[in-house]
A and B are shown apart, each in its own frame.
Chain A
Amino acid sequence: MLIAPIEPRTSAGQTVASDAPTFSGNRGLAVEEPLIFEIGRTDTTGVDLEEPAPVTPRLGKLERTTPIGLPGLSEPQTMRHYVRLSQRNYGIDTGIFPLGSCTMKHNPRLNERMARLPGFGDIHPLQPLSTVPGAVALIAELSRWLSELTGMPAIAMTPKAGAHGELTGLMAIKAALESRGEKRSVVLVPESAHGTNPATAALLGYRVEAVPARADGTVDVAEIRKRLSPDVAALMLTNPNTCGLFERDVVAIAEAVHAAGAYFYADGANFNAIVGKVRPGDLGVDAMHINLHKTFSTPHGGGGPGAGPVALCAALAPFMPVPYVKVSDPAGLTPLRYVEHASPPSPRATPASPQAPSASGERGSGRSFGRMCAFHGQMGMFVRALAYMLSHGADGLAQASEDAVLGANYIRASLSDLMSPAFGDRSCMHEALFDDRWLEGTGLTTLDFAKAMIDEGFHPMTVYFPLVVHGAMLIEPTESESKQSLDHFIASLRSLADAAKSGDTSRFKEAPRFAPRRRLDETKAAREPRLRWCQTLRV
């Protein structure tokens, strides 16, 4: 998912033979595009708006009188500008996107169409609940699916992304501990965890204690037992872990955590490997976020938006943030009750007339720990995720997990003679992890190899993560790849590996040569930050 900063190369690169200059700087279909600030004008607009009605302004003395500095473009210019920018990006629709721990799977366009139905896309979060029963029902239906797939009774739907879900889960744990009068101060996090895990724990004031990995890439229950104490609030564990391995001692780990009075938080980033195969709740997980943008196909959109609903066990459910749907009947046949307020009705609050439950949300029991964000969460993502789940069905979801695991193992098996699998011949889950031992003596790094993949037309795998493996290359093909696509990918990587071993280093050190840009100077970007365009605009 995440990549260590690139070691920059500041020396000028050699000119590639095919790199004869053109007048425009363009290369056929690869068109250079300036910034809007260099081509737009503040007096140009691409929208036709009527003249406002003459009124006496009610702005006090607060009218904005100085120039803002926003260039405009006509509609055709705008279209061309952003189409050209789009052509400088690699997406899932371009080719295989084997970014480990990111689950870059096909994004069905049916999802987009459904999210744009006026009944979903054009409804306001605060219009009367009586005018949006279908929205509440959709949230309830998605919760039901997530609940069934995780084996956990309650879903906090509002978190905006995975890390926000982690925060939600740990808050629920903190609130539950406080409700039993306990103030625990430590959260255990394996070394291989995503950076968001320790960052989330630290944000809530917990001291993070790292748990080392065994030589085989998994967590040793003995190492966890050693660290468990009455001061430990939770263990945060990713399963399958970031090495692409299922933590086979997970049940024993859960029992140990529970025996110490702590909670078991699972990072659901890798849920795609096990959907329909096993339920985290059945393994003893107390809380787990689900990245709808990974497992359930909502688009990554160049970095977001995501959605990170959190599944909670029965002990944590009462603490979940508002708003939430209260489903008393698992079949969802009874009228849905929507709880929007954490606090129970207070004696001093007696409105002029009793609130009609249909007009606005109900009040909770008072145990909810609060609110994660305005409104109801990422509704647009809920619609997309549900469209995906309905399309797959339970059988299709299990098949998708199997295919994802199959694809990763196929890649592992097909490359293990040339590259070095991090954990030998052991089979993996949905992602195959290699280290950089196989590059020893070539003078090349993982980064060089990744950049050479760009020249071959691939998005690189995740590199230098997890941190516990030297020069890590984490490959997650997902279930969206055909066998032809996998075979082509494998053949290309084998050819690159051969080239690396045969001393063809310039091909790697100069890479990428055929991308819209060659390697970028990240040191310069950090040392002399230029975070906005700041010259004089054309007016």
Chain B
Amino acid sequence: MRYLPLTDADRKAMLAKIGVTDIDVLFADIPLDKRLDGRLALPKTKGELEVERELTRLAAHNVPAGSVPFFVGAGAYRHHVPATVDHLIQRSEFLTSYTPYQPEIAQGTLQYLFEFQTQVAALTAMEVANASMYDGSTATAEAVLMAMRITRRNRAVLAGNLHPHYRETVETLGRMSGHDIVSLPPAPHGKEDLAAQIGGDVACVVVQTPDFYGHLHDLTALAEKAHAAGALVIAVFTEAVSLGLVQPPGAMGADIVAGEGQSIGNALSFGGPYVGLLATRQKYVRQMPGRLCGETVDLDGRRGFVLTLSAREQHIRREKATSNICTNSGLCALAFTIHMTLLGETGLRRLARINHANAVQLADRLAKVPGVEVLNETFFNELTIRVPGDAAGVIEKLAAKGVLGGVPVSRLEPDRPELADLIVVASTEVNTDGDRAAYERALREVL
């Protein structure tokens, strides 16, 4: 087997050194009657070519986003990732390294994490960011628990326009860990009175902008009311590129920001691995979950980086830790950092403007189709349309015509028939005018 360097002669020599005659002696602690002895219903070793054939055949059953006019978003976005990013993240020393617990030989990882933390803090206009979470949904759930630790309150209010998967993730963790999670009903027109929900027992209000339906929100007034009541505002985003054009949560009074970083540097990959972003105010940093990288000096006084404030973490604090999280999303964070470095402020702003312009053009085209209504007054690169009848059926018919036209809301909200005629539609820089024309044409045909 090509991954196993030991020869039979090696094995024999090693057994002799150990002083046993048979490998099975080393497995003697396993109860004899439970041992397998090769009776698994699985195939035998395969060569690289065979494996490649088999998996390529499986992959061919899927329709890649890049092969069709593609307008699917709702929490994951298809952007162009420069070739440099994918090359660099496959450098052995990044790809095959471990969590930087031996900082003297992990300065590469630590320095990019420090750069990542700084970029995320700047992007969200917050003071500090951690070295990444699993994804946006789990970052949001962790943010809620963090707010409860800070406020010593047990109730969280989730905006109705929070991504439904994020809502379910928070509800699951909340219910299972004994916290009170109040989820408001969806408001696809974008009008919600969240401030009315803030009582003296509320730890935090969780609000997404751009929200699941694409609407943008000014959080300033909400933050003032929340702070007056002793509650925190958790701002969530699923499209990081939006922060190149839209007012950041930190400038609107958010206390914690939880977001998905996939759309910068990372492939769609059917939903994972992605990279969760978590940022907050300096004063809350000791209640943060996850790894933090900090600057220090070595014995010779040279600048270096280490993982720090680890007294928050499970490997030191065990059951008293702020979270059970151990693994982060290091390599996806690296992809984010490299792509962001290539973009720079100038590139990010331009990329964001292209996205917005493409979505505006798409909205204008779709609004012309008879029976279609665009619900949004504001949006970044994603918006919601109402179609006559069943949106899931429309999406399926569009797919049959070779257009992936968005996400029917019923896919995520099957219990709400009032949303069954809505489609969330995204347009990024990858869409051409030809793509938009194809969408409009196909939609006219299927309606």
Contact = CB atoms under 8 A, between A and B. Distances in A.
A120 B6 contact: no
A175 B176 CA distance: 8
A414 B341 contact: no
A351 B354 contact: no
A307 B404 contact: no
A387 B296 contact: no
B296 A522 contact: yes
B102 A459 contact: yes
A123 B315 contact: no
Contacts of B380: 59
A126 B64 contact: no
Contacts of B396: 128, 130, 356, 358-359
A171 interface: yes
A82 to B, nearest CB: 5
Nearest to A363: B414
B341 A348 contact: no
Interface in B57-92: 58-67, 70, 72, 74-76, 78, 82, 84, 86-92
Interface in A73-104: 73, 75, 78-79, 81-83, 85-94, 97, 99, 102, 104
Contacts of B122: 68-70
Interface stretch (B11-19, B191-199, B200-208, B439-447): B11-19
Contacts of B30: 246, 248, 274, 277-278
A22 interface: no
Nearest to A412: B18
A353 B324 contact: no
Contacts of A414: 17
B176 A174 contact: yes
B62 A126 contact: no
Nearest to A343: B415
Interface string B357-400: 11011010000000000001111100000000110110110010
A240 to B, nearest CB: 9
B223 interface: no
Contacts of B248: 64, 68
B105 A516 contact: yes
A2 interface: yes
B91 A526 contact: no
Contacts of B13: 483
Given A160-B138, A246-B30, A519-B104, A303 B330 contact: yes
Nearest to A356: B396
Contacts of B320: 202
B237 interface: no
B319 A201 contact: yes
Contacts of B26: 405-406, 409, 427, 429
Contact of A526 (B29, B308, B378): B308
Contact of A532 (B104, B118, B328): B118
Nearest to A389: B42
Contacts of A13: 299-300
Contact of A88 (B111, B298, B315): B111
Nearest to A479: B4
Given A302-B99, A394-B40, A64 B342 contact: no
A102 B31 CA distance: 25
B108 interface: yes
A246 B26 CA distance: 10
B318 A199 contact: yes
A454 interface: yes
Contact of B296 (A204, A383, A450, A521): A521
A72 B169 CA distance: 35
Chain A binding surface, main DSSP class: loop
B134 interface: yes
Contacts of A454: 102, 104-105
Contact of B58 (A52, A137, A375, A519): A137
B143 interface: no
A162 B338 CA distance: 27
B239 interface: no
A171 B172 contact: yes
Given A41-B344, A110-B51, A277 B17 contact: no
Contacts of B338: 78, 82
Contacts of B127: 532
Contacts of A255: none
B97 to A, nearest CB: 4
Contact of A83 (B46, B91, B99, B296): B91
A75 B243 CA distance: 23
Interface string A495-539: 000000000000000001001111111101110011111100000
Given A85-B108, A400-B3, A512-B105, A349 B415 contact: yes
A190 interface: no
Contacts of A113: 52
Nearest to A66: B251
Given A204-B177, A524-B296, A375 B271 contact: yes
Given A42-B344, A134-B59, A529-B309, A393 B44 contact: yes
Interface in A343-394: 343, 345-346, 348-353, 355-356, 358-361, 363, 369-381, 383, 386-387, 389-394
B117 interface: yes
Given A11-B299, A303-B100, A373-B137, 16 more contacts: A2-B101, A89-B107, A118-B66, A126-B74, A135-B62, A161-B134, A195-B314, A199-B317, A202-B320, A359-B395, A380-B267, A380-B270, A406-B18, A483-B5, A517-B104, A530-B296
30 contacts: A35-B114, A42-B345, A47-B347, A87-B93, A92-B97, A116-B86, A119-B62, A122-B64, A122-B66, A122-B267, A163-B324, A199-B318, A352-B389, A360-B411, A369-B172, A371-B172, A373-B169, A374-B165, A375-B270, A391-B1, A391-B48, A396-B44, A412-B18, A520-B296, A520-B305, A521-B299, A522-B296, A526-B308, A526-B310, A533-B115
Nearest first, the 10 A-B pairs at minimum CB distance are A72-B344, A375-B271, A119-B59, A301-B331, A370-B172, A134-B61, A125-B271, A305-B273, A2-B315, A91-B96
